[in-house]
Amino acid sequence: MIHSILDSDLYKFTMQNAVMKLYPRAEVKYSFFNRGKTYIPKEVADDLSDAIWDMEQLFLTEYEEDFLREKCYFFDPVYIDFLKGYTYDANEVKIWWNDGKLSIDIEGYWYRTILWEVPIMALMSELYFKHTGETKDSWNIIDERTQWKAARFDDVGVKLADFGTRRRYSYKSQDHLVKEFKDWPFFVGTSNVHFAHKYNLKSIGTQAHEWMCAHSALMGIRHANKYSMENWIKIYNGDLGIVLPDTFGTTIFLNDFDTKYAKLFDGVRHDSGNPILFAKRIINHYEKLRIDPMSKTIVFSDNLNFEKVINIHNFCNGKIKDSYGIGTNLTNDVGVTPLNIVIKLVEINNIPVVKLSDDFSKAVGNKEHIKYTKKLLEDSQYYVYVILDPRKCGNYLYENMFFEYEPFYVGKGRGNRSENHLKDYLKINKKNNPKNNKIKKILSLNQKPIIIKLVESLSELEAFEMEKYLIKSIGRWKEGPLVNLTSGGEGTSGRIVSDYIKEKISLSLKGKFKGRKLTEEWKEKISKNNARYWKGKSNPSSDKARKKISNSLKGKTKTKYKMTSPEGEEFIVDGIMDFCKKYNLNHSHLIAVAKGRKKQHKGWKCEYLSKPQR
């Protein structure tokens, strides 16, 4: 089942090389996670244990060594010599089974244990289907399906690699797939180094999430991405230049992905969250750094199939270079339900690590540690969501974003904000009556609105921008199905008021003020009230009071402020009113920022340089 020491993904070897040189004494622990909660037969656990002991017999052959020296130019002779002497140690792996629940822990030096993950998962998958007896399709049908996919990918003209080792149906299924694809122009290689050697293909891969996770424990989580990128450059000096941005959320990554790293790395890999919205964020980030996005690449690898690839490619075409790594949908598309399993790094030097991802359902680690990490990074806990109408099933495509039900509301929030709409409809005074009415009608039919978080791990400013983009793309009122009252973002910009509401307001105010005549009795009453209010005070409408105010202000200077734009440009201003008018800002919001009550206003920051004189 595991035929070679190279029967694994390239990124495990590239990381092993870096770990061996930078962290030779680091000790780690990996654990197995059964995301799909699938029942695992005991026979699988028994055979897996035997197979792991058999792996101790694997070693790097002379032909494999020649392949690495010739094709993997980024490995220095020291690492290849190390790999020649490397063998698996089964004592590093602990397996136990209890009533259908399989547990696996891997412990030892990082540079040694790092190679276990991929082959153990491949073994798990193959043994599971062997012992459960799930009936796969015939090889003739599998071959026809593979040829159909190849022809369609070739028609589209995308670049595609095989990323399917970990959850393959079997060694034979991956071998069959690579053999069928290897001569097609769209196929650029495979992540599996053994099959790259067998069919003389390019090995594809750079790093996995564990590289960033480990740095979060060793260097601190806030800038783990920065340290992991810096250390990668130390080892590979510009080679293997695709970086993973979603380990702790893309927002945190982009804070460290400055001009230096954005120019040094060839691109990024998307592995969680909405791929279209991710691509838009990455394109915007490159443009903000004055880097041509067409000089960079996004490698998409999150649960892809042909339809997803087409939608993503159509969006990226002409905006940024795109490439695709497909795993399970290639090597386990044989008529069975693939396992949803992972093995993840959970500790380094007895320090727990977590992975958050742009899709919080993929978060890995102790719940308390995940909660603590999110709190540390709370500035990036916003998300943008869409609410769909379950009564209107169909194909709804907007800017290459596909929905199976018609969207009717887009919002931004954090915490339970998206779920609160199901309670808000009961509150009569809530402003968005069209939205609440829709929710009420859906619930009255014993159905529930479908709420999807399209993109997570955003700053508030990014959430505002993404909300505006989605509302514009889908359309509201006459331009689309959305019932949002505004065009998104902060404030009520673009708010639409229906003719019915306008008429209702007009009728409610009719005759109340226009042409209204006050009786002498009312005039006298107002006069007495004014006199009572201004008794002992200076009435600002009198000449004497105006002169007194003018004299009191003589010699006093306006308050000085330092204003910082969303792009980082700084302004020193005397007084704030004229500045706010020029840049369409709200002065009271900026004062709140200066006083520490708000973090920013429309991305602007404000601080006092001289305190206001009283």
Q: How far apart are CA 32 and CA 115, in angstroms?
A: 14
**Is the Cβ–Cβ distance between 387 and 449 less than 8 Å?**
yes
Walk across the sheet containing 570-574 and list its strands: 570-574, 560-564, 605-608
d(CA 127, CA 51): 10
Q: Is 60 helix (H, G, I), strand (E, B) or coil?
A: coil
> What does R_g of the chain's alpha carbons equal in angstroms?
31
Q: Pick the residue with more confidence: 69 or 554? A: 69
pLDDT of residue 285: 96
Tokens describing residue 490: 């902060």
Judged by DSSP in three states, 221 sits in coil
191 vs 530, higher pLDDT:
191
Rounded average pLDDT over 522-529: 72
- Taking the model in full, what pTM does it have? 0.71
Pick the closest to residue 231 from 251, 248, 214, 247 (CA basis): 214
Strand bridging mode 267-270 / 382-398: unpaired
Strand partners, 191: none
The whole-angstrom separation of Cα 537 and Cα 548 is 12
For the record, the structure tokens of 443 come out as 């619930």
Kindly report the average pLDDT of the chain as a whole number: 88
Least confident range of 490-494, 592-596, 601-605: 490-494
Residue 279 has pLDDT above 60, yes or no: yes
Q: What is the CATH number of domain 560-608?
A: 1.10.10.10
pLDDT of 410 reads: 93
Residue ranges per structural domain of the chain = 381-500, 560-608
Instruction: For residue 425, name the pLDDT band (cuts at 50, 70, 90).
Output: low
Is residue 32 pLDDT above 60, yes or no?
yes
Q: Which residue has the higher pLDDT, 522 or 254?
A: 254
Mean pLDDT of 339-351: 94
Higher-scoring residue by pLDDT: 222, 32: 32
Q: What is the mean pLDDT of residues 424-437?
A: 65
Question: What is the mean predicted confidence (pLDDT) over 125-152?
Answer: 93
Which range, of 374-378, 405-409, 456-460, averages the lowest pLDDT? 374-378
Q: Say what the pLDDT of residue 541 is.
A: 56
- Tokens representing 320? 């940024």
Determine the average pLDDT of the residues in 156-178: 95
Contacts of 423 (CB under 8 A, 6+ apart): none
Q: What is the mean pLDDT of residues 494-513?
A: 54
Q: How confident is the model at residue 521 (pLDDT cuts 50, 70, 90)?
A: confident
Instruction: Count Cβ atoms within 10 A of the Cβ of residue 560 and give its class: 0-12 exposed, 13-18 middle, 19 or more buried.
Output: middle
Mean pLDDT throughout 401-425?
82
CA separation for the pair 368, 349 (Å, rounded): 19
DSSP 361: G
Can you give the pLDDT at residue 428?
A: 47
Cα 345 → chain centroid? 20
pLDDT, one tens digit per residue, over 200-258 is: 999 999 999 999 999 999 988 878 999 999 999 999 999 999 999 999 989 889 989 99
Interval 383-388 mean pLDDT: 92
Of 185, 205, 209, 206, give the one whose Cα is nearest residue 195. Answer: 205
Predicted local confidence at residue 353, as pLDDT: 92
What residues are paired with 66 via a beta bridge? none
pLDDT of the residue at 503? 60
Six-digit token pair at 80?
A: 């290849």
Residue 601 above 90 pLDDT?
no
Task: Give the tens place of pLDDT for each residue, 83-138.
Answer: 999 999 999 999 999 998 999 999 999 999 999 999 999 999 999 999 998 889 99
User: With 0-12 CB in 10 A as exposed, 13-18 as middle and 19+ as buried, what is 529?
Assistant: exposed
Query: What is the model's pLDDT at position 493?
Result: 46
pLDDT at position 14:
98
Q: What is the pLDDT of residues 50-93, one digit of tens each?
A: 999 999 999 999 999 999 999 999 999 999 999 999 999 999 99
* Res 107: pLDDT: 98
Q: What is the 3-state secondary structure (H, E, C) of 155-212?
A: HHCCCEEECCCCCCCCHHHHHHHHHHHCCCCCEEEECEHHHHHHCCCCECCCCCHHHH
DSSP H or E run through 346: strand 341-348
Model pLDDT, residue 183: 95
DSSP per-residue string spanning 257-321: --HHHHHHS-EEEE-SS-HHHHHHHHHHHHHHTT--GGGSEEEE-SS--HHHHHHHHHHHTTTSE
Task: Indicate the pLDDT class of residue 477, thresholds 50, 70 and 90.
Answer: confident
Contact status, residue 480 vs residue 474, Cβ threshold 8 Å: yes
Q: How confident is the model at residue 550 (pLDDT cuts 50, 70, 90)?
A: low
pLDDT at position 558: 74
